[in-house]
Chains A and B, each alone.
Chain A
Amino acid sequence: MSEIIHRRPWSLNTLIFVFVFCWIIAAGFPFVWTMWGSFKVQGDFFSKADWAYAISGVRTQVETGGAFTGDGYFGAWITRSFWVAALNTMIVVVSVVIISLSLGTLGGYALARSGKKYAFYLLMLALVFRAMPHITLVSGYLLPFFEWNLWGHLPTAIIVMVAINQPFTLWMLHSFFLNIPKDLDESAMVDGCSRFQAFRHVIVPVMWPGVITTGLFSFLLAYNDFTVTATLLSQSNQTMVPKIASFLGTTQTEGNVMFAVAAVVSATAPLFVLVLFFQRQIVSGLTSGAVKG
């Protein structure tokens, strides 16, 4: 590969560098900018006078005495109890990941080992389910949930998200299990294990890389969800994303968008950490379905 790079004309090399550089700016700069701005006052972040105020923090100096302020964070987390939403998000996300992985590993394993025709049809059905816009499903839930008093509670949102997540989880784990040699569990069964024992003692110990990768995507789905959490949770049980949306409705009239900015940065931080530590797994997960399956 390296010889080819050396043989590339300098004009093409420059073009590539400029193009990739532009993309990196487009992809990364908004986050840097918003994080920097979240420590300023509104007069700087949305500056009527000069956009460069957001860098130097002129109004922040005047209003708070320092170049940086944590007022937005204090307002969001303490005054407007964003911490409750963060706690709810944690409960929801952890439950969704654990439940959908437990169901998904069993199902994905069965689909990978079945070899029957109906397994193929089930996978196709899962693909069709994956295509359903989430809001159309939600409009099917609302009325029954109201009637049976299930609306507004965290467990309801959790099980709904687990279900919405299943088609994807099944597909992904199915392709991971296909890569684990059949001989492994079959030899265990020859030795007298039942199918479940073979799964439990032979497959479970070697399946973790695939499970972790799938878990990351379940995490992202639950963490990033707005449709389900905004419609199925009551005000007191709100998770972070609908909470941020509700900030927008009220804070702009109060003249305190900075609460929302601080909340947005707070909610993005865990995602940064996630990418930082699991970049390889995310990349392999994105491609496993495509390249191998």
Chain B
Amino acid sequence: MKNRTFFWFILPSLMTMILFIALPIGSIFIQSFHIEHGAVLKEVNNCGPFGCKLEVQVDVKASEQLKNDKPLGKFNGFGTYTNRNHLAVNEVSEAWEKSPTFKDFLTKTYNLPFYRALAFTLTYTFVVTPMVLLLGFGIALGVNSLPKQFKGPTIFVSLLPMIVTPLIGSLILFWMIDAEGILGSMLQWFFEDPNLSLKASPTLTWIMLIIYGIWHSAPFAFIVFYAGLQTVPMDTIEAAMIDGASRWERTRYVVLPHLVPLIVFILLIQLMDNFRVFEPIVGFSAQASATSLSWIIFNDLAGGEGSFFGSAGATSVLTILGVAVLLIPVLIRTWRDFKGKVV
């Protein structure tokens, strides 16, 4: 295809991506180096019946004016990055110096909002992703060996957790797990503890969110693996059987190697999607015990105390760095795989 023609074909699509993906990323960087204006103060001579005194007041009009003239705020350099709500450089180094044990240091660091969110985000990503791969593979093997007439309906039901809106899916589970819902009361009965409430315990909240994540994403892995299983070469399987390979050996040495490209694909998508975990925290109202990076950005923007663009920008930049670190190995692999083929 001629370069010119290519350009006109791709232009509309490329324009939307540049305008609404590339430029916002630039905008985040600029925002993250600025901070909201402080209030403009003025001295007023306040005269009452007991004489006059000089008072410092907030000049509402001037503050408003300043905000309108420079909506971005004032330049702050790396100030936002290093403050308590983000990397908290001072607090962390202080905790490092004053903590007697490493565990103490971790506890202190965990109490800082950014590290709290980071801890949950990373735990979620690195627990949910392998579990999704495992469970998805298990279901795919199971469904693949079902009699034909059961396969269709099974796939239909399996798709539901993935297809449903994440916020709605988490709400549905949240209501069932409520102390007065069916799962909640069953758990109380099972553990013989009438006061058991999943909402009250941070550990249980984390587990609940992770279970939700696995429930939501396993169907995706299942479908991809299931499709992969249909293309496993039967000749190789039969050859392995003739050579006396057991069922387990056939799965391990024939089926699994055949599925490796799919594992990389699922890994890539899952790492991307799990790192942005956000809706389940809103759905489960879990912010008291678990926050994620996406959630703290959302809270900065629409948390009800006004919008802190500088703070949201800084967290966004740090999140994007996190995504980059996380994805570089998988991206390099995709790059190499893809380069071998014709575009």
Q: Mark A28-53, 1 if CB is under 8 A from B, else 0.
A: 10110110010000000111101100
Contact yes or no, A34 B175, CB < 8 A: yes
Interface centre among B21, B138, B164 (most CB of A within 10 A): B21
Chain A residue numbers with a CB within 8 Å of B261 are: 290
Contact yes or no, B294 A133, CB < 8 A: yes
* Closest B residue, CB atoms, query A289: B265
Is A78 at the interface (CB under 8 A from chain B)?
A: no
CB distance from B18 to the nearest CB of A (A): 9
Contact yes or no, B220 A286, CB < 8 A: yes
Is A190 at the interface (CB under 8 A from chain B)?
A: no
CA distance A146 to B100 in the complex (A): 49
Contact yes or no, B297 A136, CB < 8 A: yes
Contact yes or no, A160 B171, CB < 8 A: no
* Closest B residue, CB atoms, query A24: B157
Is B155 at the interface (CB under 8 A from chain A)?
A: yes
Is B45 at the interface (CB under 8 A from chain A)?
A: no
Interface of chain A residues 134 through 181 with chain B (CB within 8 A): 134-144, 146-147, 159-160, 162-164, 166-167, 170
Chain B residue numbers with a CB within 8 Å of A136 are: 24-25, 28, 294, 297, 316, 319-320
Interface size class of chain A, counting residues whose CB lies under 8 Å from the partner chain: 35 or more
A-binding segment of B58-66, B91-99, B102-110, B223-231: B223-231
Chain A residue numbers with a CB within 8 Å of B301 are: 135, 138-139, 142, 231
Is A75 at the interface (CB under 8 A from chain B)?
A: no
Chain A residue numbers with a CB within 8 Å of B327 are: 128, 131
Is A282 at the interface (CB under 8 A from chain B)?
A: yes
Is A224 at the interface (CB under 8 A from chain B)?
A: yes
Is B10 at the interface (CB under 8 A from chain A)?
A: yes
CA distance A131 to B166 in the complex (A): 18
Chain A residue numbers with a CB within 8 Å of B320 are: 132-133, 136
Is A94 at the interface (CB under 8 A from chain B)?
A: no
* Closest A residue, CB atoms, query B34: A143
Contact yes or no, A163 B17, CB < 8 A: yes
CA distance A28 to B3 in the complex (A): 50
Contact yes or no, A110 B10, CB < 8 A: yes
CA distance A109 to B8 in the complex (A): 12
CB distance from A175 to the nearest CB of B (A): 11
* Closest A residue, CB atoms, query B311: A139
Contact yes or no, A286 B167, CB < 8 A: no
Is B41 at the interface (CB under 8 A from chain A)?
A: no
Q: Mark B69-98, 1 if CB is under 8 A from A, else 0.
A: 001100000000000000000000000000
Chain B residue numbers with a CB within 8 Å of A272 are: 160
CA distance A124 to B143 in the complex (A): 34
Chain A residue numbers with a CB within 8 Å of B343 are: 111, 114-116, 119-120, 123
Is B309 at the interface (CB under 8 A from chain A)?
A: yes
Interface of chain A, helix or strand or loop or mixed?
Answer: helix
Chain A residue numbers with a CB within 8 Å of B134 are: none
CA distance A30 to B24 in the complex (A): 38
Chain A residue numbers with a CB within 8 Å of B146 are: 16-17, 20
- Footprint of A on B, CB under 8 Å? 1-3, 5-6, 9-10, 12-14, 16-17, 19-28, 31, 71-72, 138-139, 141-143, 145-147, 152, 154-161, 163-168, 171-173, 175-176, 178, 180-182, 185-186, 215, 219-220, 223-224, 227-228, 231, 234, 247, 261-262, 265-266, 272, 275-276, 278-279, 282, 285, 293-294, 297-298, 300-302, 307, 309, 312-313, 316, 319-320, 323, 327, 331, 334-335, 338-339, 342-343
- Footprint of B on A, CB under 8 Å? 1, 5, 8, 12-13, 16-17, 19-20, 23-24, 26-28, 30-31, 33-34, 37, 45-48, 50-51, 54, 102-104, 106-107, 109-111, 113-116, 119-120, 122-124, 126-144, 146-147, 159-160, 162-164, 166-167, 170, 195-196, 199, 220, 223-224, 226-227, 230-231, 241, 244-245, 248, 257, 260-261, 264, 267-268, 271-272, 274-276, 279, 282-283, 286-287, 289-291, 293
20 interchain pairs, CB-CB under 8 A = A16-B146, A26-B215, A37-B175, A120-B343, A133-B320, A134-B294, A139-B309, A142-B307, A167-B21, A195-B9, A226-B165, A227-B278, A227-B279, A227-B294, A231-B302, A245-B282, A271-B160, A275-B159, A275-B163, A276-B156
The 8 closest A-B pairs by CB, nearest first: A140-B24, A163-B20, A107-B13, A110-B9, A133-B276, A287-B227, A136-B316, A46-B180
With A139-B31, A139-B312 already in contact, 13 other A-B pairs whose C-beta atoms are closer than 8 Å: A13-B145, A34-B172, A124-B335, A129-B17, A133-B323, A140-B23, A140-B24, A143-B71, A144-B27, A159-B16, A224-B166, A271-B164, A287-B223
